[in-house]
Chains A and B, each alone.
Chain A
């Protein structure tokens, strides 16, 4: 379909983007890959007067070593994450999750930052970022601030990034040597997650020393299953079922054509066990 007409701006620096946004106020939408925004515009679910494309801001793209963390530019496309050596070494869970996103075309266009700010609870980036206890860098007219991943997701399609602000970087503490797995449950491969579980573990002599578990599409935001994380400490590979069965506790998953809430709760438990099992394998 054809979107309503809009002005298109493609700034080349973050400062320029911020001033464009400040000027446009409520009437602007940020284009950060466009894999969700363009369908929304084309179906006329939203009709901004100005679209600000961040695609030409080189500074927002790429992964660098930040010492105790790795820093991922918000405009880094999924496909660059999947094979990035730093990501695979220090945040394997993110690479595992991102490689399941949609299809190759979308992974070449869509960006990690775009997905985080769009905040679709069925998206695959939120849960690993939450589980890996990332810090998100947000800049606005008043300067730069950092937000913990646990504070970032506010509600369905809502984050702590305010009007006139931009997410610029995702800082992930190094989880060097942690095993990881992203168990995504879909009916067809290019689908949004029906449920997915992100698990990353640090082993100590064959049993779990630390575990981090994130849940996709089990509520209006990505969730962290802290009770499961705690229950897993000290557990071996054959002893996961009970700890993981609590994965859905306190969640409020949606009901739709792919499954009702009860089914999703059941899936979360099964997928959590499988994710942890695979994460323990490497």
Chain B
């Protein structure tokens, strides 16, 4: 028998069931709210019902005297110790960034802000007493609509003097990555095609499953903070930077965390308030939010107006793209709130070869809940805009949406390709993914059915939607982040500890909150070190165990953190090699490593890596000058992003009598590079798809004129369940990423980014023959029905895109209550 025959089946690529699922699904695990400490006190927050108000007076006497109450703290009481919520990414040097106190002192700038904290022996007592806190508010005018905010008539923060936070531009002519977009548009107005649209990215609630919770133990020399967060390492940094606590005295633990979708990458007022109160009282404290609190006070996502101008030649060859974004930050600039829309700068041009490009982003403050990353973060918004536009261009030219994309996309022979935005896509094959998707979908048959239904005047019409998306993942090369004034790097860290008894601890700086890191990391290490999958233990989410890390968001864990693990594993092998040579009495140069075994080339002599771990533990007989450890650390900083892409096809049925839409079929073929665990990928795709589809059809955070979140519970915020979904077909093509040795690209956000425009394109396609070219998201039955009504339901109103400008200054081309017809826009 040779060593090769002993080699275990490769773990990478295997459908491993997730190690973590038994405990996560049964809940028999360390969720933050499950933590109970001796003498622990409970917090309840008193929150502002008003969108904008001065705090005149807070009477806490009644609450102080309520049963079980230990203390009631206002912003004034905590002023010197509560720290401040940080913005880590000022997008411009002159960005207006209002101070964001955890507990407001003088003024609240959105409904749901904390004005007082009640501490009691039980959570129920704290809640009861919170009702007794009497706050005297002086209501101030609130600005709720971002276009209104741009007028600076009503100010979200009067002291700033303006609602405009920052303006950020990328211009291909200025930066030398392409031509002048105004010239391209001017030329197209004379002899080509100009498509102008304004799209609305509605505000969404991340709606993670586990509400946020924080437990703080201030007793002893070290302060321990458990929190349901995606970012324990960043939280530790923020606490040290703003609360005057030495970083080395702070331990932050993210135990098992029940979902985040970006919603938990924030450092929150609730965390700071709990820390401040626990330190003041010298007692362990817990705060767990209710779902109602979570809806209004955890950050929201999306919320943009997108004014888009695309120029093309008459045959549909694109010549320019101008993007003008208006992005609502809400009341404060969240940790990366200003930067999220800016990420669109490199994504609006997508997979297409635009010769000229300009991206403008104006961020604006309003008196609504603050806005930050939500699954996809900037990239779904951009993908929606461009993929909707490409369908509009196809309709204008009179060709199939697939054909217009083929005409304009980067071909497989053109990689690596530097885009008009200045990004270099390392690999991809849009032709292969599209071909496979079309076949799986049965595109031609469905087109034929669509034709039949149109001709028959079927009350249920069929539409096909296309989305050939790409995204940038693996956030991020630290140098790039530095050039964008981002407040941190983008590296990731890993350690591998070879235990004496043959098992391996892998310490990861990436912090899972449902993704399955423990399983995937085990598969990578099992292959790399030749250790059984079951013998690999993955540790994470505790700054004491994994002191270095930049956590999990932006589809970065595998692409950046996975590569760090590979490098740490390779270092372990290199450290073990001289010891193996010593044990085998051979020259280091003759030692080979394969599947966990060091062998002497040309002989059958060998020693296992776990034997070396034991020998190192004993350290009785190591070569001179070799340290008694084969453990290793690695920190990986990527040189480029990764660029997953895919072709998503969606068939939607539209009931023209009621406006109801029903998904008929959804096929996606994604190129996410090398796949570590197909089962996890399948889960990420299906979950991601539902979230993106939900934006298209169901979800929207709606405020009334007073600034109250109307969709403040799951009765009105219509989150879908499994009962509302169909079975999706998710397949893959593979062109490995060249920026990491695993060849991975990231999959956490792909489904969410790609699916939204596919669905809306399908709905619009189903009713385009009636003269409709847009329906605002979420495409509720009422909006669809009203679009059909206002289009008159006639079949001969063929779409006409005017080459002349038709943006009326300050007015959207979308009626929020309905869809749009071409006629209405002119």
Contacts and interface: CB of A to CB of B under 8 A. Distances in A.
Nearest to A42: B290
A187 B780 contact: yes
Residue picked from B128, B291, B723, B781, most chain A C-beta under 10 Å: B781
A43 B782 contact: no
The A interface is mostly helix, strand or loop, or mixed, namely loop
Contact of A257 (B292, B697, B710): B710
Contacts of A189: 721, 723-724
Interface in B623-669: 657-658, 660
B77 interface: no
A13 interface: no
Interface string A164-196: 000000000000000000000101111110000
B127 interface: yes
A259 B128 contact: no
B716 A257 contact: yes
Nearest to A43: B292
Interface in B40-76: none
Chain B's interface size range is 20 to 34
Nearest to A195: B658
A206 B127 CA distance: 62
B697 to A, nearest CB: 8
A2 B658 contact: no
B806 to A, nearest CB: 28
Contacts of A256: 716
A64 interface: no
A188 B719 contact: yes
Interface string B742-781: 0000000000000000000000000000000000000011
Contacts of B292: 1, 43
A103 B781 contact: no
Interface in B702-731: 702, 710-711, 713, 715-716, 718-721, 723-724
Contact of B780 (A4, A44, A190, A258): A258
Nearest to B786: A263
Contacts of A103: 721, 723
B199 interface: no
Contacts of B710: 257
Contact of B781 (A5, A44, A187, A260): A187
B31 interface: no
A270 B657 contact: yes
A267 interface: yes
B698 interface: yes
Residue picked from A4, A188, A259, most chain B C-beta under 10 Å: A188
A191 B781 CA distance: 14
Contacts of A260: 782
B441 to A, nearest CB: 25
A137 B438 CA distance: 61
B698 A192 contact: no
B660 A185 contact: yes
A263 to B, nearest CB: 5
Interface in A233-270: 256-260, 263, 266-267, 270
A218 to B, nearest CB: 15
B702 A257 contact: yes
B124 interface: yes
B130 to A, nearest CB: 10
A188 B128 contact: no
Contacts of B723: 103, 188-190
A266 B659 CA distance: 11
Contact of A259 (B290, B702, B780): B780
Contacts of A271: 658
Nearest to B123: A2
A173 B292 CA distance: 43
A194 to B, nearest CB: 8
A263 B788 CA distance: 12
Nearest to B781: A187
Contact of B698 (A44, A188, A263): A188
A94 to B, nearest CB: 22
Nearest to B122: A2
Interface string A1-20: 11011000000000000000
Given A1-B127, A103-B723, A187 B658 contact: no
A259 B782 contact: yes
B131 interface: yes
Interface string A116-155: 0000000000000000000000000000000000000000
Interface of A: 1-2, 4-5, 43-44, 103, 185, 187-192, 256-260, 263, 266-267, 270-271
10 contacts: A1-B127, A2-B124, A5-B128, A43-B292, A103-B723, A187-B781, A188-B698, A188-B719, A190-B721, A257-B702
Interface of B: 123-124, 127-128, 131, 290-292, 657-658, 660, 697-698, 700, 702, 710-711, 713, 715-716, 718-721, 723-724, 780-782, 785-786
Which 3 residue pairs across A and B have the least CB separation, nearest first?
Answer: A189-B723, A1-B290, A259-B782
